[in-house]
Amino acid sequence: MNKKQKKLRNRILVALGIFIVMEILEVAGVFESLPYGVWIEFVAFLIPYLIAGYDVLAKAWHGITHKQPFDENLLMAIATIGAFALVFFPEAEPHMAEGAAVMLFYQVGSLFESYAVGKTRKSISDMMDIAPDFANLVGEDGEITQVDPFEVAVGSKIVVKAGERVPLDGIVLSGQSQLDTSALTGESVPRVVEEGAEVISGCVNMTGMLTIETTSAAENSTVQRILELVENASEKKSRSENFISRFARVYTPIVVGLALLIALICPFLGFSISKSVESALVFLVVSCPCALVISVPLSFFGGIGAASRQGILVKGSSYLEALSEVDTIAFDKTGTLTSGKFGVVAVHAHGGVDKDLLLSYAAHAEAYSNHPIALSVVESYSGVIDHDKIDNVEEISGKGVSATVDEHRVFVGNDKLMESKEQLYHNCKLVGTILHVAVDGEYLGHIIIADMMKDDAKEAIDGLHAAGVKTTVMLTGDRKEVADAVGGELGVDEIRSQLMPQDKVTAVEELLANHEGMKGRVAFVGDGVNDAPVLMRADVGIAMGGMGSDAAIEAADIVLMDDKPSNIAKAIRIARKTLRIVKQNIVFALGVKVVIMILALPMIGIANMWLAVFGDVGVSVIAILNAMRCLRVQK
Ligand code: ADP
Ligand code: MG
């Protein structure tokens, strides 16, 4: 319990103590025997009422003066003040005790609610307790000191012992070990690392000791970025939540109006004024939508927590809601469905050109590009890259690169690049991605490269179809042959190839236009390399986090930490479960309320104020317990 909750608890206990004493005095008939007994009783119950509920009254008043009166505080204020006000109707039974009790129970309910929210928050942050609070810094003299990770400069040497969490992102200088990345990615198989491997903060070093050179400051580390994402996520409002406040704005005046109507009309139907007013008040107490106001955000909070345990970061509850309605998913190919690690299949040199020369030009021209193709070409080049020779590098998105290498103008890229540079080139019959290489207007030949399908790509597409996603579309800038081969093997419904980055936006816009006015939504999944505009345009943008691709993490609504496309189906299942629970709570809470409201009508008159109080607290408790199911992850 936090301070605020403890304060509320103490207030409730004090008020309850006084209330019980007064109730005993009342039952013993003490008040009746006194002169002006009713008025003494009035004051006697007013004291615990005010102790327990002064803040509710203040909030209601605040709402009235700020022209947003219609919330549960107003309902509680009217109902309880009304109960006390019955004292002014001489022939009515006094209801001061009920007025005080209603307020007391209402506050017990809110205490429980705030406790449940806090507990969920804590269980998420426990689970997200992935930021270690120290790093073993290696000094110049080889001495090891424990310091705060935030004090470690980029490029420092740190040691991570077996059993410790990696405090900062870095590269392994020496040592060999297995890393448990499950807290970050949900992946249960440990990752083997050795010299030269990149390690991410937040993983647990399981077996060996590692010496690491840090590559980021603590505030930019993977761990901090994840924590920030999760914290921000739980603050953003969902459309469902807005639905609740919109709903309250319509609902409250209707309920207040109906209550007035009951109070005014029933006397003409032959009921006593006090009976009619009492019914109206019971009606008001029951109508409190607090069960919804609390349980809806709690459900989303739980859903986001459950997803993050699987390595799926959802940036806000509205995206969870949108995801639950997705029926069309478009995928980028390279880096999303395929690994993005290309191997060289063949080198076709034109005329008498030396193959190694061809490769060398390509590798030099690609040396500054971050595209998966470029990284792979550089990696497969066996020679040394001389960075001094490279100049004027220009990346032409969706086409390739141009650069000056050793004073020669070099173009490396696809057919489109060659055409735009009016460069003659040869086609190739092999299936694969083709890199044409031209130097000073002369065609040197082409390199055919290919990458591997991700292990779970097929499972991902099948899983989505099984989950009821109607259309899967593959959008790629690659050649038709490659696109058809990959798409065909995976069983994608629709394949579009040779797209420029802006064509992908157009393609997604077409999909969106097809959905105009219909229920389903469109998601786009990309690896973030020049996909940012598409990620933003789709209803739901899902990025392969790639553990560090900033552009992707920024632009996307949902980030898959372990780059596994099969997690999308998992995310959809979590989203649907969350929304199902939200809807259950809405139907259940309103259902129970309508029944008690009807029972409270004077012609039926079964429900009294006590039942109303228990009804409200009970519904809230059940809705909260139901909402907490969202946090549970099914495997
Ligand atoms: P994808 O849609 O598969 O992610 P991109 O839009 O990133 O592909 O690129 C489309 C095509 O443009 C690639 O298949 C390749 O032919 C060419 N291309 C893009 N960047 C480069 C590069 N750095 N070097 C060579 N070719 C490139
Ligand atoms: Mg791509």
The pLDDT tens digits of the residues spanning 9-42 come to 999 999 999 999 999 998 898 888 888 888 899 9
CA–CA separation, 365 and 390 (whole Å): 7
CA–CA separation, 257 and 552 (whole Å): 51
For residue 79, the model assigns a pLDDT of: 80
Centre of ligand 1 to C-alpha 545, Å, is 19
Nearest-ligand number for the alpha carbon of 403: 1
Whether 148 is catalytic is no
CA–CA separation, 561 and 116 (whole Å): 28
Which atom of ligand 1 is closest in space to residue 374's alpha carbon? Answer: 23
| Structural domains of the chain, ranges and CATH numbers in brackets | 3-125+236-300+577-631 (no CATH), 153-217 (2.70.150.10), 313-337+454-561 (3.40.50.1000), 340-452 (3.40.1110.10)
Sign of the dihedral defined by the CA atoms of residues 299, 304, 305, 309, in that order:
positive
Centre of ligand 2 to C-alpha 217, Å, is 28
For residue 16, the model assigns a pLDDT of: 95
Give the number of other CB atoms < 10 A from CB of residue 248: 20
| Model confidence at 231: pLDDT above 90 | no
| Model confidence at 114: pLDDT above 80 | no
Percent of the chain with pLDDT over 70: 91
For residue 122, the model assigns a pLDDT of: 64
Range with lowest mean pLDDT among 226-240, 308-322, 584-598? 226-240
| Model confidence at 297: pLDDT above 80 | no
Q: For ligand 1, atom 2, which residue shows the shortest CA distance?
A: 476
Q: Which of 371, 394, 486 to mutate to test the pocket of ligand 1 (most atoms within 8 A of CB)?
A: 371
For residue 241, the model assigns a pLDDT of: 54
Contacts of 422 (CB under 8 A, 6+ apart): none
For residue 487, the model assigns a pLDDT of: 94
Sign of the dihedral defined by the CA atoms of residues 244, 245, 246, 248, in that order:
positive
Ligand 1 site, residue 316, Cβ cutoff 6 A: no
CA–CA separation, 622 and 402 (whole Å): 64
Give how far Cα 78 sits from Cα of 44, 56, 123, 250, 286, Å: 20, 11, 37, 17, 12
Q: Which of 331, 333, 334 to mutate to test the pocket of ligand 1 (most atoms within 8 A of CB)?
A: 334
For residue 537, the model assigns a pLDDT of: 87
Ligand 1 site, residue 487, Cβ cutoff 6 A: no
Percent of the chain with pLDDT over 90: 36
Exposure string over 588-618, b if 16+ CB within 10 A, otherwise e: bbbebbeebbebbbbeeeebbbebbbebbbe
Residue tagged 């097929």 (tokens): 458
Centre of ligand 2 to C-alpha 382, Å, is 25
For residue 9, the model assigns a pLDDT of: 93
Among candidates 603, 337, 630, which has minimal Cα distance to 485?
337
Ligand 1 site, residue 478, Cβ cutoff 6 A: yes
pTM exceeds 0.85: no
| Model confidence at 635: pLDDT above 60 | no
Range with lowest mean pLDDT among 435-449, 473-487, 552-566? 552-566
Q: Which of 399, 482, 563 to mutate to test the pocket of ligand 1 (most atoms within 8 A of CB)?
A: 399
Ligand 1 site, residue 371, Cβ cutoff 6 A: yes
pLDDT digits (tens, 9 = 90+) for 498-533: 988 888 989 999 999 988 888 889 999 988 667 778
Ligand 1 site, residue 573, Cβ cutoff 6 A: no
| Model confidence at 631: pLDDT above 80 | no
Among candidates 225, 181, 221, which has minimal Cα distance to 204?
181
Phi-psi region of 143 (alpha: psi -120 to 50; beta: other; left: phi over 0): beta
Which atom of ligand 1 is closest in space to residue 333's alpha carbon? Answer: 3
For the residues 227-253, what does the mean pLDDT come to?
A: 64
Centre of ligand 1 to C-alpha 200, Å, is 28
For residue 443, the model assigns a pLDDT of: 95
Nearest-ligand number for the alpha carbon of 451: 1
For residue 300, the model assigns a pLDDT of: 83
For the residues 88-95, what does the mean pLDDT come to?
A: 72
For the residues 456-485, what does the mean pLDDT come to?
A: 93
Centre of ligand 1 to C-alpha 199, Å, is 27
Range with lowest mean pLDDT among 61-75, 109-123, 502-516? 109-123
| Model confidence at 236: pLDDT above 60 | no
**What type of residue sits at position 461?**
I
CA–CA separation, 342 and 355 (whole Å): 18
pLDDT digits (tens, 9 = 90+) for 527-559: 866 777 888 889 999 988 764 456 667 778 898
| Model confidence at 125: pLDDT above 70 | no
For the residues 354-377, what does the mean pLDDT come to?
A: 91
pLDDT digits (tens, 9 = 90+) for 154-173: 999 999 988 888 999 999 99
Q: For ligand 1, atom 21, which residue shows the shortest CA distance?
A: 400
Ligand 1 site, residue 413, Cβ cutoff 6 A: yes
**Which one from 71, 169, 332, 616 is the annotated catalytic residue?**
332
Local confidence band at 416 (pLDDT 50, 70, 90 cut-offs): very high
